[in-house]
Amino acid sequence: MRLLELSHAYKQEKGHEPETVDQLLDFCQQLYIKGEIDYPSYRSLFQSLHEKGAESSHSETELV
């Protein structure tokens, strides 16, 4: 899967375009967890999205 395909899948599932690359990254992670994309595709998308500035909502845990 490529970024354009990921964006299209996001739009089909959510009914609107992603507003940020962070939303695409979260969606990509969800697809991977559900087994809808394989590991090589996930890594490639993850890397591409991070290069575009995406940050995972799961990357840091804030201690209070």
Q: Is residue 45 part of a domain?
A: yes
Q: pTM for the whole thing?
A: 0.83
Q: Is residue 58 part of a domain?
A: no
Contacts of 64 (CB under 8 A, 6+ apart): none
Residue keyed to tokens 């959510």: 14
Pair of tokens at residue 1: 């899967």
pLDDT digits (tens, 9 = 90+) for 22-34: 999 999 999 999 9
pLDDT at 49: 95
Query: Angle at the Cα of 8 (from 56 to 54), degrees rounded to 5?
Result: 20
Please say whether the dihedral angle defined by the alpha carbons of residues 34, 35, 36 and 41, taken in this order, is positive or negative.
positive
pLDDT at 58 over 90: no
Q: How many domains does the chain have?
A: 1
Q: Is residue 37 part of a domain?
A: yes
Residue ranges making up the domain that contains 44? 3-51
